[in-house]
Chain A
Amino acid sequence: MPVEVRVPTILRSFTAGEKSVAASGDSLQAVIADLDQSYPGIAERLVDESGLRRFVNVYLNDEDVRFLEGLRTPIADNDAITILPAVAGG
C-alpha cells in the first residue's frame, strides 16, 4: 500500500534531497523496512533495538504513533507519515 512519507532535513541526505518519498507496507514497521530498501541506512536513524528512537517523532496523519501502536501501527492506503526529529536539549 503506497503511502507518502515526509522526510526531515537531517534525513534528506538519504533521499537525495527529496522532502517527500513513497513507501509501502501495512504497518509502520513494514513501511520503515521498505524505506530502508530504497534508502539504505535510514531505518537505523529511526529505530533501535527497543523500538522507535526516543527523540524521533513519527506521525500517522495528525497523530504521534506513540499514542497509537508505535511500530505496529496499521497503515492504510493514502495515509501520510511525517518524520520529525524532536526539538529538545538540556
Chain B
Amino acid sequence: MLVIRQDLIDAMVAHARADHPDEACGIIAGPEGSETPERFVPMLNAARSPTFYEFDSGDLLRLYRDLDDRDEVPVVIYHSHTATEAYPSRTDVAYASEPEAHYVLVSTRETGTEDGPYELRSFRIVDGQVTEEPISVLEG
C-alpha cells in the first residue's frame, strides 16, 4: 500500500497537467528505510515526448547524489500518460529499475491541462511483474 499526503498527490497531478500533452515525471523522496514520501522533486522529461519520458542523465546523477547526502530514497517515482490509462506500459515495465519504489502513474487523457477528476494509480514493478496496490491518502 502507498500511504501519501493529499498535497503530494495534488502536486503530481498539477505537474502532469502543466506538461500535458508531453509526459511529466519526477520522484517523491523519503527517508531511507521508511515508506513515507515527503519531498516532492519534479524532474524535466529530457525526451519531451507525449509517449516517452527519461530523466536527463546529468540531472539523474545530481538527484541521486542529493538523495545520498540527505539519506533519502526515491519512495515514489511518478510519470504521466497523456493519451492512455494510468497503467504501466511495456516500456515502463522494461525499464523499471527501482524494485523498492512505488511507481505512480497519472493519466491526463480525460482532462488534458484542465482541472477535473484525475486518474492516479500506484504499482510495484519487480522483475517484470506489475502489481497494483491501494493508495491511502492522508489529508494534509
Residues of A within 8 A of B (CB): 8-10, 55, 57, 59, 62, 64, 66, 82, 84-90
A87 CB to nearest B CB, Å: 4
Is the beta-carbon distance between A88 and B88 smaller than 8 angstroms?
Answer: no
Known contacts A64-B58, A84-B60, A84-B61; is A89 also within 8 Å of B100 by CB? no
Q: Is B96 an interface residue (CB 8 A)?
A: yes
Q: Is B89 an interface residue (CB 8 A)?
A: yes
Residues of B within 8 A of A (CB): 25, 27, 43, 47, 51-55, 57-58, 60-61, 64, 77, 79, 88-92, 94-100
Give the secondary structure class of B's interface.
mixed
Known contacts A89-B79, A89-B91; is A64 also within 8 Å of B57 by CB? yes
* A55 contacts across to B, CB distance below 8 A: 95, 97
* B54 contacts across to A, CB distance below 8 A: 86-89
* A57 contacts across to B, CB distance below 8 A: 57, 60-61
Is the beta-carbon distance between B60 and A89 smaller than 8 angstroms?
Answer: no
Alpha-carbon distance A52/B47, docked complex (angstroms): 19
B92: contacting residue among A64, A84, A90, CB under 8 A: A90
**Residue on B nearest A56 in the bound complex, by CB:** B97
Is the beta-carbon distance between A88 and B52 smaller than 8 angstroms?
Answer: yes
* A10 contacts across to B, CB distance below 8 A: 97-99
Is the beta-carbon distance between B58 and A88 smaller than 8 angstroms?
Answer: no
Alpha-carbon distance A42/B65, docked complex (angstroms): 22
Alpha-carbon distance A62/B59, docked complex (angstroms): 11
Select the residue from A85, A86, A89 with max chain B CB neighbours within 10 A.
A89
Select the residue from A10, A64, A88 with max chain B CB neighbours within 10 A.
A88
B105 CB to nearest A CB, Å: 9
Is the beta-carbon distance between A90 and B99 smaller than 8 angstroms?
Answer: no
Is the beta-carbon distance between B61 and A90 smaller than 8 angstroms?
Answer: no
With A10-B98, A87-B98 already in contact, 10 other A-B pairs whose C-beta atoms are closer than 8 Å = A55-B95, A57-B60, A59-B57, A64-B57, A64-B58, A84-B60, A87-B27, A87-B54, A88-B91, A88-B95
Alpha-carbon distance A72/B115, docked complex (angstroms): 50
A12 CB to nearest B CB, Å: 10
**Residue on B nearest A90 in the bound complex, by CB:** B91
